[in-house]
Amino acid sequence: MHFIDSHCHLDFSELKNDLNAHIARAHKRGVQYFIVPGVTYPQSAALLQFAKDFAQCRIALGLHPYFIEQHNDDAFSLLQTLARTHRNDIVAIGECGIDATCANIGYQSELFVEHIKLCNALSLPLIVHHRQSHHLIAQALKACPAQYGGVIHAFSGSLQQAQYYINRGFKLGVGGTISYTRANKTRQVLSQVPLESLLLETDAPSMPLSGYQGQANEPHRLVEVFEHLCALRSERPEQIAQQLYSSSCTLFRI
Ligand SMILES: [Zn+2]
């Protein structure tokens, strides 16, 4: 079976020093490609070289709400120029979105809408970060629909919220959260939505699976996320793997 890790920060310091080993280990378990998102302007700019160094990695450019206080006033216009210049070297715009646990929600929302406009201008999908912010994300998507869809990274929420995104062309990112029994609501939702609406992700080095708390998450654990998902779904594992792989390829045009 083959897999794509649709969201992992392989350029972060926890993984970068030993990256060839991490990629080889994941590859041995069937993970063929990795989507590495942008989080700040300087890091997004550095990703362009990163993608040349690691052929299995595809990249996105974006300003993450978690770093809202680090983004300079000209960060988005620089990012925009970078994305337009390197349109053929990127597969999405993001990671962007709204995080209600971070500062400057108003500015976060404005910046998010700018990312959606950029996606639409470049015919690219959007990688969306949310935390306690579904209503704000929905407001932004109403003001400016994402014409090429995207993925709701680390989806957690109700069936109604899941359907809202699916109806607007979004996939739901399935990560290590589903390994925790306390995530019962999300687990139930992910067992019910159409298989075609799901993508696999680790968010490595973040979001360790149950049993690995306190450790850096690693991209080979994508296969364990997959096994947890299989336990929730009625389809055969081969069918699940095949559908998720092909959904990732279609969304990111791999
Ligand atoms: Zn992320």
Tell me which residues have their CB within 5 A of the ion that is ligand 1. Answer: 95
Q: How far is the CA of 72 from the centre of ligand 1 (A)?
A: 20
- Is 203 annotated to bind ligand? yes
Q: Is 83 exposed, middle or buried (0-12, 13-18, 19+ CB in 10 A)?
A: buried
- Is 27 annotated to bind ligand? no
Q: How far is the CA of 26 from the centre of ligand 1 (A)?
A: 18
Q: C-alpha angle with apex 60: 176 to 73, nearest 5 degrees?
A: 110
Mean pLDDT, contiguous 10-residue spans, the chain (254 residues): 98 95 98 98 98 97 93 94 98 97 94 98 98 96 97 97 98 97 95 98 97 96 98 98 98 97
What are the pLDDT digits (tens) for 32-41?
999 999 999 9
Architecture of domain 3-252: Alpha-Beta Barrel (3.20)
Q: How far is the CA of 203 from the centre of ligand 1 (A)?
A: 5
Q: What is the pLDDT of residue 226?
A: 98
- Is 95 annotated to bind ligand? yes
* Contact status, residue 122 vs residue 81, Cβ threshold 8 Å: no
Q: Would you list the domain boundaries of the chain?
A: 3-252
- Is 9 annotated to bind ligand? yes
